[in-house]
Every structure is written in structure tokens, then in C-alpha cells.
Amino acid sequence: MTRAGGWLLAAAALTLPLWLSSAYHLHVAIMAGIFGVLALSLNLLLGFAGQLSLGHAAFFGIGAYTSALLTLKGEWSFWPALAAAVALAGAAGWLVGRLSLKLRGAYFVLVTISFAGVISLVSVNWIELTNGPLGLPGVPAPELFGWSLRSKTAYYYLVLAGLALSYLVSARLVKSRIGRAFVALRENEPLAESVGVDVTHYLVLAAVVSAGMAGLGGSLYAHYTRFVSPEVFLFTYTVTMVVMVVAGGKGTLAGPLVGAVLFTVLPEALRAAASWQWQMLAYGVLLVLLVFFLPRGIVPALQALRRRGAS
């Protein structure tokens, strides 16, 4: 993306509430922002380190539950609860990373799925803590210096800040030595190892940062919908993240954002025309079509087009 284009986009995102008059449109923008955080998070593992996590909803859900429980039962305020959500999700990422550091490909995927399955069952069955399938209603809205961020406009800016933070962390990380190590591992692990890249260290690091970021998304989600239930662990969330990253372009910084906006706005726009099941059916078909026709995603395809136009 050119620098001017980037500034233009940032300006548009900052002034969005001024020209989106309806609360519904703002709601869609907030959800796109939260999914943007989640897509960036999955992209670190899938796009840069080359490991597909199909249990990413677990880190999202851990963040959501941590933040909700601390503010509801512990009477913490929002900001420390948010930090705790990121920390606990990151710790879960560390655990999964340590456990599965010897596993690759399908086996890594299976461990992440199993981890999410166990956590989801705990959230349903540990009723004293989580209130079971009934969930936790009345999660408080965040406050900043005594101001409630309850309004949609205020919450939009909170999510935008979270998204910007996730983007900056991703950008700093992948443009640093660490990011180059990730890519080296993804492209050729034995070769990377032979030139001294510590595989275990970097894969665990990728898992921790990615999971912490998903925890941030979870906390933002919990305090926005004001309700958390075992549904946050639904596989649908993981699938949505995967579709966003793969469609947008894994291993790019802009790709997950494009995917997140596209696959939040599109289903909402099609809501009147097609039911939820049709949309999910379309997701499945779309994933297959993407692999066949646009395997690298939208952003890399556009970049290739522009390069061809320039030369």
C-alpha cells in the first residue's frame, strides 16, 4: 500500500462515525474492527509462522471470559481486566505452543482443535465459575477517566485503538528479526534451523503473541455485547477468522484487515437476501473456490496486478 493511500484509509477510519449516521452501520464497523484484531492474530501464526490453528476461538473465548469474570465477580475495572485477558490468553498460547512444538501440519491443527474442545467443555460444565450454558449477562461497559464508553461512537474508537495496536504490533514484529525468523521457518524449517534459528523459541513466541492478540479481541467483544456464553468458543468463529485471513491474503499485513472488513460487511449486506445457513454454506464453497482460484488471497493478487500494470 502506498503511503498516501495508508493515510487516506486512516483518516477515513478516524472520521467514520461522522458519516455513518445509523447505529446499525456503526455496529457493523465495530464488529469488523473486532474481527480485524482476530484476523491479524491468526495471521501471525498461519500467515507468518505457517502453522494453522483451528482452535483460535479458544484464545478469543478465554479473553472474553477472563475480562467478563474479572469485571463481574472480581469487580475489577475494564483496563486491568483487559490486560489480564491478554495475559491469560497469551499464557494459554504459551501452553499450546510448548505442548505442540514438535508437531507440524495436521497434528498441530488437531492439538489446537482438541485444546479448544476441552476449554469449551469446561466453560459449559464448570457452572460455579462460568454459569454454564446460560452465560454471563451484564458485563459492564468500559470507562475512561470517569467517562463511560457505552455509546457506539465511543466504543468504535476503543476498538479502532485496539485494532491499530494489533496492526502496529504485527508490523513491528514481522519487519523485525523475529518476523524474518518466522518466515524462514515457514519457508524451510531445516534450512532455518541450520543457520541458527531457534525453532522452538520462535514458534512459541508466535503462539503467545497471536493468542494474546486474540484475547484482546475477546475482551473487546465481551464488553461490547455485554454478554459472554460458551458460544464464544463456537467453531464458527475460528472458521470465520480462517476465511478472512486466507481470502485477504495470509502473510501480508493488509490482507487480514481486507478480509475482516469484507466478511463482516458482506454477510450483513446479504442478511436480508440469505439466511445464516446459506451464508455458512457459501463460506464453505468460497473457501474451496479460493484455494482453487485465488490461493494467495486478494491483497497479493491485487499487488501482482499493480506490478504488472506498472511494468
Residues that bind another protein (CB under 8 A): 52, 54, 99-100, 102-103, 105-107, 109-111, 113-115, 117-118, 121, 124-125, 235, 239, 242, 246, 277-278, 280-281, 283-288, 290-292, 295
Q: Which three cell numbers stand for residue 270?
A: 446479504
Q: In the bound complex, what is the minimum distance in angstroms from residue 82's beta carbon to another protein?
A: 29
Q: How far is the CB of 280 from another protein (least distance, A)?
A: 4
Nearer to another protein, 162 or 230 (CB): 230
**What CA–CA distances, in Å, run from 100 to 10, 199, 204, 300?**
38, 12, 9, 30
Q: How far is CA 161 from CA 129, 166, 186, 199, 245, in A?
A: 31, 9, 30, 32, 20
Question: Of the two residues 224 and 283, which places its CB atom closer to another protein in the complex?
Answer: 283
> Whole-angstrom Cα distance, residue 71 to residue 231?
19
Shortest Å, Cβ 41 to another protein: 18
Min dist. Cβ of residue 113 to another protein (A): 7
Based on CB atoms, which residue is closest to another protein, 121 or 191?
Answer: 121
Q: Give the three cell numbers for residue 40.
A: 491479524
Please check whether residue 245 is in contact with residue 290, taking contact to mean a CB–CB distance below 8 angstroms.
Answer: no
Q: Which three cell numbers stand for residue 71?
A: 469485571
A 10 A CB-CB count for 233 gives: 25
> Smallest gap, in angstroms, from Cβ of residue 57 to another protein?
13
Q: Cβ 50 to another protein, closest distance in Å?
A: 8
Nearer to another protein, 151 or 279 (CB): 279
Identify whether the C-beta of residue 224 lies closer than 8 Å to the C-beta of residue 159: yes
Alpha helices (H) in 176-234, listed in sequence order: 177-187, 189-194, 199-225
Please list, in sequence order, all residues whose beta carbon lies within 8 angstroms of the beta carbon of residue 46, skipping any fewer than 6 positions away.
52, 53, 242, 245, 246, 250
Question: With respect to another protein, which residue has the nearer C-beta, 32 or 54?
Answer: 54
SS3 content of the chain, % helix, strand, coil (to 5): 80, 5, 20
Min CB(38)–another protein separation in Å = 17
Largest CA distance in the chain: 64
Nearer to another protein, 65 or 283 (CB): 283
| Residue number with CB closer to another protein (2 or 277) | 277
Tell the smallest beta-carbon distance from residue 129 to another protein (Å): 14
Instruction: Pick the closer one to another protein by CB: 207 or 242.
Output: 242
Q: Which amino acid is at 145?
A: F
Of 17, 15, 9, 8, give the one whose Cα is nearest residue 155.
Answer: 17
Q: What's the grid cell of residue 81? A: 481486566
- The distance of closest approach from Cβ of residue 242 to another protein in the complex, given in angstroms and rounded to an integer, is 7
How far apart are the C-alpha atoms of 212 and 216, rounded to whole Å? 6
> Contact at 8 Å (CB) between 46 and 247?
no
Closest to another protein by CB, 13 or 103: 103
